[in-house]
Structure 1
Amino acid sequence: MRGRATIIGAGVAGLATARALALEGWDVDVRESAPALPGTGTVLGLWPAALEALEAIGAGPAVRGSGVRVEAAATTGLRTPAGKTLIATNGGGKLLLIRRPLLLEILADGVDVTFGAEVAGPRAVDGADVVIGADGTNSRTRLAVFGGQYAARSLGAVAWRGTVEGAARSHGETWAPGALFGISPAGPDATNWYACLSAGQPFDPPHLQHLRDVFGSWRTGPAEVLKRVTEAGILHHELLEVPRLPSYSCGRVVLVGDAAHSMAPFLGRGACEALVDGVALGRSLGASASVADGLAGYDRARRARTQRLVGISRLVGRTAMMPRGFRERNAVLQAAGAVMGAAGSLKRR
């Protein structure tokens, strides 16, 4: 079927959905409260399912041409702050890295977006067959439809992240009680970094000295990266999660991306799942005889999977920063790493 859709939010989910619906012949109106697309942001990792979604909406070639494949690195893995390797891994060509502003720019190409358009809620939208809430973790659309009991909830942790110029000598994550620091490539001459602490609420700025005090003595690369970080280049926020919704749609309203299933960042899947959401919704509405059937099909296709990922991501974060039992956890991980290494050696013979 074809119809008219209003999308609230011009982030990854909203723009991907707009492109997917346009391919199905829908008339799409995207409304974004911000005055323009963001010019800053960190690097996103796109896994194969996300790359397939980008191909489906015609953005694959541009993204592949602008992104960077993760290459193998001998110093990639999971470690302790003292430098002990728990699991050594190799990078590979399956993950594509791209800066968030660049991905948004590519997705917005050819999409009609009205910036500076504040939408009070789905009931304020007239003339649309479908209203799509792509308005993020603190979605007004979700609250208007499902109520305050589905407001995003704190995970009891805060995060910092950013990108610095220059390649790092080591990549991977370091796990410690109540803390985590990760380093990944952001291209041949740039590095993406992220840090997390168990905390009841976000810290007040300035942040850089606090990060150096906490992570500067770790022997796994944070000090090297933090030397290049500037206060202005730090993003800081509380980690939030959307509770399990009974459905991703209600009447003519449907949720995509973080509005439906915002999750902790420990799997690196938020943007990936947002892209897949957009394609799934477009296909379901395009192939259905009615809006109700199309939204029901989208809900069946996406809700169980994404809600499972929300739970897994939360579990990974708790495991990474567990305050007790971490020595036993490290022993198990180190043993698993040894088995993985032995299996890899046998395959290469």
Structure 2
Amino acid sequence: MRAVVVGGGIGGLGAAIGLHRAGWTVTVLEQAEEFGDVGAGISLWPNALRCLDELGVDLGEHLAAQDQGGLRDRRGRWVARWDAAGFRRLHGLPLAGIHRADLIAGLCDALPADLLRTGTEVTEVTEDGVVRFDGGEIRADLVVAADGIHSAIRRALFPHHPGPVYSGSSAFRGIARPATIPGLSTTFAPGTEVGVLPLTGGDVYWFASSVTEPGARPADLKAYLKEHFGDWHDPIPALIDATPPEALLYHDLHHLAAPLETYVRGRVVFLGDAAHAMPPFLGQGGCQALEDAVVLAHSVSTVDDVDAALAAYDAQRRPRSQRVARASVRAGKAGPQVTSPVLSALRMNLLRLVPTKLTARAGASISGWRPPRLPRPVPPRTP
């Protein structure tokens, strides 16, 4: 059985690993000239770490376990402390941070290099599994559409779907190497959220999202950040100062507000942002893509008929991933997208009343998800 994966991001590479482990012949087609990701970090919750373990991906020393943290106001006062130890006891795993580039490299390392093709622009995908690209054509038993939030395959096979819409917020992102490594934290102010996520190697990933008009990109990103966040609590100004201007990222945040009615069109299956792009307010975008990858590999390895296997994948993944996507939207509207100072102050006062021990269970229905088992590699026989 032959599969073509269009897109070499987190979900696409995860799907390729799972399908390869299930015995499929896999080709990954990536439009960029090399595999990689935008220079920022990502949080991996226990549901994602379990998926990586099931896929046999060992990220080792690249993972930074988060053993403390909490919510603060812009002056730095703690609103709620996160029970990281209780979270680890509940899930058996921590929340972890990692460079996106290290995650992509770890996924690539889990695949034979000859399965990966870069600099390949896919020009057409048909429902019966034909993939045409610059310089060739492949007829596949399965095509995995993992080509991101602006998926060309989704536009072609779901022509009436409205596509991604603006979430209401835009975000700065950066990686700094400050003199002192801070702990994990989230800071709320009206219409704004700043997150701090320590990584390995002395690096710290940070982001700042704000409610604003789409397309309102500041002319000088560094100057804008220093003007708007220079008087916030430590370590936020220091992280901004320690981030090189050329490494600053700024993007409008989009998501698929209209859910797809199915994740399957013939022999084409959608996963990750191509299927259920969500705003980042729960940190679950990449995690849900890894869940997709493991469930797809399990479905095709346990159900002989491909059409039936894809139907099983759709039945499992569509309800859960769309539920998480809706929860991400709600989390934004109830948190960093609250612009009223009065409502923002009320929210913070209510959060101060939450006992620390209860914070370990926040999001447990999402983080507690466990992947199905995949086929184990058969060790070679010894003579």
Q: Same fold (TM over 0.5)?
A: yes
Shift of 1:289: 2.2
Is the partner of 1:35 in helix, strand or coil? coil
* Unpaired stretches in structure 1, ≥5 consecutive residues: 342-349
Is the partner of 1:314 in helix, strand or coil? helix
Deviation by residue 1:228-278 (Cα, 9 ceiling, x = unmatched): 122111111110101311111111111011111111111111111111111
Deviation by residue 1:199-245 (Cα, 9 ceiling, x = unmatched): 12141442111011111111253112112122111111110101311
Query: What's 2:317 paired with?
Result: 302
Amino acid at match of 2:354: A
Query: What's 1:79 paired with?
Result: 72
Asked if the contact 1:18–1:28 (Cα under 8 Å) also holds between the matched residues in 2, the reply is yes
Partners of 1:25 and 1:51 lie apart in 2 by 23
Partners of 1:182 and 1:332 lie apart in 2 by 20
Q: 2:203 aligned with 1:190, yes or no?
A: yes
Amino acid at match of 1:115: T
Query: What's 2:167 paired with?
Result: 155
Query: What's 2:279 paired with?
Result: 264
Q: 2:140 aligned with 1:128, yes or no?
A: yes
Shift of 1:333: 0.9
The alignment-based identity, stated in percent, is 31
Shift of 1:96: 2.3
Query: What's 1:178 paired with?
Result: 191
Could you say if the C-alpha distance between residues 291 and 338 of structure 1 is closer, same or farther in structure 2, counting changes exceeding 3 Å? closer
Amino acid at match of 1:270: G
Asked if the contact 1:136–1:258 (Cα under 8 Å) also holds between the matched residues in 2, the reply is yes
Q: 2:224 aligned with 1:231, yes or no?
A: no
Query: What's 2:99 paired with?
Result: 99
Shift of 1:39: 6.3
Match of 1:114 among 117, 140, 151: 117
Query: What's 1:281 paired with?
Result: 296
Asked if the contact 1:45–1:268 (Cα under 8 Å) also holds between the matched residues in 2, the reply is yes
Match of 1:143 among 155, 159, 164: 155
Query: What's 1:316 paired with?
Result: 331
Amino acid at match of 1:106: G
Is the partner of 2:353 in helix, strand or coil? helix
Partners of 2:124 and 2:329 lie apart in 1 by 29
Deviation by residue 1:110-152 (Cα, 9 ceiling, x = unmatched): 3411111111231251411111100011111111111252411
Is the partner of 2:161 in helix, strand or coil? helix
Cα RMSD (Å): 1.9
Match of 1:89 among 37, 59, 82: 82
TM score, norm. by length of structure 1: 0.90
Shift of 1:91: 3.7
Q: 2:84 aligned with 1:69, yes or no?
A: no
Amino acid at match of 1:323: T
Is the partner of 1:149 in helix, strand or coil? coil
Amino acid at match of 1:10: G
Alignment of 1:17-28 (within 5 A): 17-28=15-26
Partners of 2:298 and 2:168 lie apart in 1 by 37
Shift of 1:40: 4.9
Could you say if the C-alpha distance between residues 169 and 11 of structure 1 is closer, same or farther in structure 2, counting changes exceeding 3 Å? closer
- The ranges of structure 1 where at least 4 consecutive aligned residues each deviate by more than 6 angstroms after the TM superposition are none
Asked if the contact 1:43–1:100 (Cα under 8 Å) also holds between the matched residues in 2, the reply is yes
Amino acid at match of 2:62: S
Partners of 1:7 and 1:170 lie apart in 2 by 37
Deviation by residue 1:161-220 (Cα, 9 ceiling, x = unmatched): 111113434531111111111112112622110000111214144211101111111125
Partners of 1:146 and 1:193 lie apart in 2 by 35
Asked if the contact 2:42–2:100 (Cα under 8 Å) also holds between the matched residues in 1, the reply is yes
Asked if the contact 1:170–1:221 (Cα under 8 Å) also holds between the matched residues in 2, the reply is no
Query: What's 1:344 paired with?
Result: none
Could you say if the C-alpha distance between residues 310 and 7 of structure 1 is closer, same or farther in structure 2, counting changes exceeding 3 Å? same
**Equivalent residues, number:** 334
